[in-house]
Amino acid sequence: MYTPLRKIISVAFTAAIGLLPTLVLADDAPTLNSGDTAWMLTSTVLVLFMTIPGLALFYAGMVRSKNVLSVLMQCFAITGLMTILWVIAGYSIAFTEGTDYYGGLSKLFLAGVTADSLSGTIPETVFMTFQMTFAIITPALIVGAFAERMKFSAMLWFMAIWLLVVYAPICHWVWGGGWLGNMGVLDFAGGTVVHINAGVAGLVAALVLGKRKGYPGTMMPPHNLGYTLIGASMLWVGWFGFNAGSELAADGTAGMAMAVTQIATAMAALAWMFAEWVAHGKPSVLGIASGAVSGLVAITPASGTAGPMGAIAIGAAAGIGCFFAATKLKKIFGYDDSLDAFGVHAVGGIIGAILTGVFADASLGGVGLAEGVSISAQVSKQFIGVGATMVYTAIVSLILLKVVDVVIGLRVTEEQETEGLDIALHDERGYNL
């Protein structure tokens, strides 16, 4: 969405246009490109497919059978709720001109967004909906951290406010003309906005809610790893919309984004598989699926700037780094991030965001950094982007969770938790066998 290179080109372009007669300038206003529009319509569908059913199944398979519906329900309800909130205020806060930190309110209720409005070369309706699917998957990712113990009502309240005071502003910082984007932080498709943001909020939620009853002593094995593998596969496929779609056009950058997404994901899946094989003696289905997701996460910020060899390096780092985070780090610190939202999304996001600054350099096969910016200078900017996102989301998420806890309570009762959330909260059971 934003690269220094493109900024330079556009500045040069604007300067060149300035020298031409006014008549030509008028002709050069962006017009609708049907190729770009077709690709963005497709991308939007692919990204929605990532959440439902992709992420929903990925998570549902990892919980115990008594909680399978609760996780599916959370992902589905989030899809509905975020859609409406995005239309009411989220889109305006994220993508209209405002301050460096918060967008304006001129497009509340999609005011002024008509069938004829354009955003670049695509209809604004398509851009708005494409961005909406990002605003859906980000809160849905957090579900993994507090699965099997949070009240459904508390989850809805937390997610609703979180979208408006955490997601939309950070989205504005990076993509909506805010301070991180202006500073030159590279985040092509959402390493900071989506993954670090959701992963850190998840960790905070896991800490505030506390461990599941019986964790880590009681057996809590995934109840259906088949679901998990199907979900991971859907995420992999849908992610081409996420990354190649973030170019907002059907062009060479989108093509390269597609290629590096595939390459990094494959590498990360293999890296986790082999790391596990070495560390534990056997390669596992949950391991290779988790590895693939960690690669998808890590290549996300770099997908518009890295080359194929950079993708291999980023994938390998993500597979091994997230393997360590999910299997060792969690044990060392003892937090109960049920499905590793932090271990995969925050850790993979951080690895990806930092390495984006490295592998964007032309000497390493990337598209090249902005003129006069060295790798170390770019990496420092990446660190600022990562740090700012982590601090902001951690603090605001903590406050939100505490408020919701005081007002309606975050956790289900011990009895409900033992019975399972499906029966306790929804009066249904996943399996009537």
Partner 1 sequence: MKMISAIIKPFKLDDVREALSDVGVAGITVTEVKGFGRQKGHTELYRGAEYVVDFLPKIKVEIAVDDEIVEQVVEAISNAAKTGKIGDGKIFVTSLEQVVRVRTGETGSEAL
Binding region for partner 1 (CB under 8 A): 216, 219-222, 280, 282, 284, 286-287, 290, 326-328, 330-331, 340, 343
Neighbour count for residue 202 (Cβ, 10 Å) = 29
- Minimum distance, C-beta of residue 62 to partner 1, in the bound complex (Å): 8
**8 A C-beta contact, residue 325 and residue 297:** no
Residue 99 in tokens: 């301050």
- Minimum distance, C-beta of residue 220 to partner 1, in the bound complex (Å): 8
**b/e sequence 16-29, b meaning 16+ C-beta within 10 Å:** eeeeeeeeeeeeee
Q: Which is nearer to partner 1, 124 or 340 (CB)?
A: 340
Please state, in angstroms and rounded to a whole number, the distance separating the CA atoms of residues 217 and 289: 25
- Minimum distance, C-beta of residue 225 to partner 1, in the bound complex (Å): 8
- Minimum distance, C-beta of residue 326 to partner 1, in the bound complex (Å): 5
- Minimum distance, C-beta of residue 137 to partner 1, in the bound complex (Å): 21
Q: Which is nearer to partner 1, 337 or 422 (CB)?
A: 337
Q: Which is nearer to partner 1, 92 or 338 (CB)?
A: 338
**8 A C-beta contact, residue 230 and residue 219:** no
- Helix, strand, coil share of the chain (percent; to 5): 75, 0, 25
Q: Which is nearer to partner 1, 102 or 335 (CB)?
A: 335
Q: Which is nearer to partner 1, 149 or 330 (CB)?
A: 330
Please state, in angstroms and rounded to a whole number, the distance separating the CA atoms of residues 274 and 280: 10
Please state, in angstroms and rounded to a whole number, the distance separating the CA atoms of residues 220 and 48: 29
List residues bridging with 411 in a β-sheet. Answer: 150
- Minimum distance, C-beta of residue 280 to partner 1, in the bound complex (Å): 6
List residues bridging with 150 in a β-sheet. Answer: 411
Q: Which is nearer to partner 1, 280 or 402 (CB)?
A: 280
List residues bridging with 318 in a β-sheet. Answer: none
